[in-house]
């Protein structure tokens, strides 16, 4: 097993062993070309064919309709914090050339550290041309009045009548808060509050939940984006699903007063060039493409959804048991817990350190919580098998028993 640990880290994170092994081969000789994947031209027909298959595998597994383009870029989730603002301000300007800064509203749903950061970037970029509003701030509904520990009640979401964008982060990686995919749940995204009579510019950050299960109401989104480095590949690749009406002539919009858009951030540049305007992260695309191929062979998203559901269910059961016995404390309110990143505390002096050290002795790493939240964070991305999750859960159960 190459001496590999079980890596529960939040990102970059574990990748399937078979993909890492295949990558070794591809680094030396990519699909019989005699050239390694990090050496071959991104404009070669062999790479183009690989890219086409990768796109096809995303489109078919996620059921992306023909109204939406799939685009590849770099710059991570953070790059998209900027890009969504600039592209959607351009779209809004073309639709409403006379709109004032007060009428040009960017609505942010703030449920954790990443959506908060995205809203801050929107404020930086839109001074004088638009107004950034917090459509809802989850901290107001938290247990302690200051933490991100919940998806707020639907009645508290307040969207503008005709916003330039509505933004949310589907899974908050740091805080362990996620929208429910059961659309009847009070913790689901409140799609029913969106205006139905026009195309809503709904933007979702799926960085840490992309390809872990189907995306509900995908067709109602304007932009969905994800950095690859959680579920599907190494860092360096960002995947975008963009509805056609959001791919606009940003230069025409700039002439009307929208902020100029760097070419590498413009969705139109990416779309017109087939995501090859400049040199893409060829190696990262290769590895993510191998992951998607493997997913397809394993039965696609329905398979991963079922495995991920079981892993999360068993993990939260152990966390709840620990809480009842006074060993753990949950961070996130019931119903808002993330499938991918579970966050909890180990109670008692030095107990967290003991927990981490004991896990490490059994070859389980990457469990320390984000520095801003503390505690333990268990990331259960697709590459963590059910067996590996079970090993951690058995360790937690034993830890609880020994603490009592």
Catalytic residues: 114, 205, 230
Token duo for residue 73: 């870029």
Number of residues that bind ligand PMP (CB under 6 A): 11
Q: Closest separation between CB of residue 403 and ligand PMP, Å?
A: 31
Site for ligand PMP in 31-60 (CB under 6 A): none
Among 29, 44, 48, 78, binds ligand PMP (CB under 6 A): 78
- Considering only CA atoms, which of 281, 340, 299 is closest in space to residue 13? 340
**Residue 33, number of CB atoms within 10 A of its CB:** 16
Nearer to ligand PMP, 11 or 176 (CB): 11
DSSP one-letter string for 365-404: E--BPPTTT-SEEEE--TTS-HHHHHHHHHHHHHHHHHH-
The H or E element spanning position 308 is helix 300-324
Query: Per-residue x/- mask for ligand PMP, residues 115 to 154, rule CB under 6 A?
Result: ----------------------------------------
Q: Is 265 one of the binding residues for ligand PMP (CB under 6 A)? A: no
**Residue 27, number of CB atoms within 10 A of its CB:** 14
Nearer to ligand PMP, 267 or 399 (CB): 267
Query: Per-residue x/- mask for ligand PMP, residues 219 to 238, rule CB under 6 A?
Result: --------x-----------
> First vs last Cα of the chain: how many Å apart?
35
Nearer to ligand PMP, 173 or 308 (CB): 173
Q: How far apart are CA 74 and CA 400, in angstroms?
A: 43
Cα four-point dihedral sign 30, 34, 38, 44: negative
| Segment lying near ligand PMP (by CB under 6 A), choices 14-22, 76-84, 122-130, 293-301 | 76-84
- Considering only CA atoms, which of 298, 254, 247 is closest in space to residue 270? 247
Token duo for residue 248: 């606009």
Q: Closest separation between CB of residue 10 and ligand PMP, Å?
A: 7
| Segment lying near ligand PMP (by CB under 6 A), choices 39-47, 72-80, 127-135, 266-274 | 72-80
Among 208, 231, 269, 336, binds ligand PMP (CB under 6 A): 208
Q: Closest separation between CB of residue 207 and ligand PMP, Å?
A: 4
Token duo for residue 323: 């809480």
CB 301 within 8 A of CB 61: yes
The H or E element spanning position 70 is strand 68-73
Collapsing DSSP to helix, strand or coil, 97 comes out as coil
Among 114, 148, 159, 381, binds ligand PMP (CB under 6 A): 114
Q: Closest separation between CB of residue 41 and ligand PMP, Å?
A: 26
Q: Is 74 one of the binding residues for ligand PMP (CB under 6 A)? A: no
What residues are paired with 171 via a beta bridge? 178
* DSSP code of residue 12: S
| Segment lying near ligand PMP (by CB under 6 A), choices 148-156, 205-213, 307-315, 354-362 | 205-213
Nearer to ligand PMP, 208 or 308 (CB): 208
Nearer to ligand PMP, 75 or 214 (CB): 75
Q: Closest separation between CB of residue 164 and ligand PMP, Å?
A: 20
* DSSP code of residue 188: B
Q: How far apart are CA 7 and CA 171, in angstroms?
A: 20
Q: Is 11 one of the binding residues for ligand PMP (CB under 6 A)? A: yes
Q: Closest separation between CB of residue 209 and ligand PMP, Å?
A: 8
Collapsing DSSP to helix, strand or coil, 112 comes out as coil
The residue assigned the tokens 């078919």 is: 60
Site for ligand PMP in 159-198 (CB under 6 A): 169, 173
Distances from the Cα of 314 to the Cα of 35, 150, 339, 397, angstroms: 45, 20, 11, 11
Nearer to ligand PMP, 92 or 339 (CB): 339
Q: Closest separation between CB of residue 74 and ligand PMP, Å?
A: 10
Among 26, 77, 233, 234, binds ligand PMP (CB under 6 A): 77
Query: Interface residues with ligand PMP (CB under 6 A)?
Result: 11, 76-78, 114, 169, 173, 205, 207-208, 227
């Amino acid at each position: 097993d190459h001496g590999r640990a079980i890596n529960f880290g939040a990102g970059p994170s574990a990748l399937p062993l078979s993909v890492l092994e295949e990558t070794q081969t591809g680094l030396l000789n990519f699909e019989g070309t005699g050239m390694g994947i990090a050496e071959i031209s991104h404009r070669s027909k062999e790479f183009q064919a690989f890219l086409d298959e990768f796109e096809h595998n995303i489109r078919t597994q996620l059921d992306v309709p023909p109204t939406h383009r799939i685009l590849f870029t770099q710059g991570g989730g953070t790059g998209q914090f900027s890009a969504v603002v600039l592209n959607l301000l351009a779209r809004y300007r073309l639709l409403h050339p006379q709109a004032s800064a007060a009428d040009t509203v960017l609505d942010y749903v703030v449920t954790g550290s990443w959506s908060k950061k995205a809203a801050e970037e929107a404020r930086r970029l839109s001074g004088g041309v638009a107004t950034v509003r917090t459509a809802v701030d989850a901290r107001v509904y938290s247990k302690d009045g200051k933490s991100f520990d919940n998806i707020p009640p639907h009645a508290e979401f307040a969207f503008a009548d005709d916003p330039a964008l509505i933004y949310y982060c589907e899974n908050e990686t740091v805080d362990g808060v996620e929208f429910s995919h059961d659309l009847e749940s009070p913790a689901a995204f409140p799609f029913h509050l969106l205006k139905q009579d026009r195309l809503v510019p709904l933007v979702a950050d799926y960085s840490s939940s992309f390809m872990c299960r189907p995306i509900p109401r995908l067709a109602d989104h304007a932009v969905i984006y994800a950095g690859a480095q959680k579920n599907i590949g190494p860092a360096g690749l960002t995947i975008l699903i963009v509805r056609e009406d959001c791919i606009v002539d940003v230069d025409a919009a700039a002439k009307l007063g929208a902020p100029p858009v760097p070419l590498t951030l413009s969705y139109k540049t990416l779309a017109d060039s087939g995501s090859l305007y400049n040199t893409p992260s060829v190696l990262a695309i290769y590895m993510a493409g191998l992951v998607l191929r493997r997913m397809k062979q394993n039965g696609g998203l329905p398979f991963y959804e079922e495995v991920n559901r079981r892993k999360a269910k068993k993990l939260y059961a152990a966390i709840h048991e620990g809480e009842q016995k006074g060993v753990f404390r949950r961070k996130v309110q019931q119903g808002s817990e993330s499938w991918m990143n579970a966050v909890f505390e180990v109670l008692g002096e030095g107990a967290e350190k003991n927990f981490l050290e004991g896990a490490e002795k059994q070859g389980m790493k990457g469990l320390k919580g984000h520095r801003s939240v503390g505690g333990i964070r268990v990331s259960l991305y697709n590459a963590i098998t059910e067996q590996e999750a079970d090993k951690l859960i058995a360790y937690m159960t034993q830890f609880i028993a020994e603490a009592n």
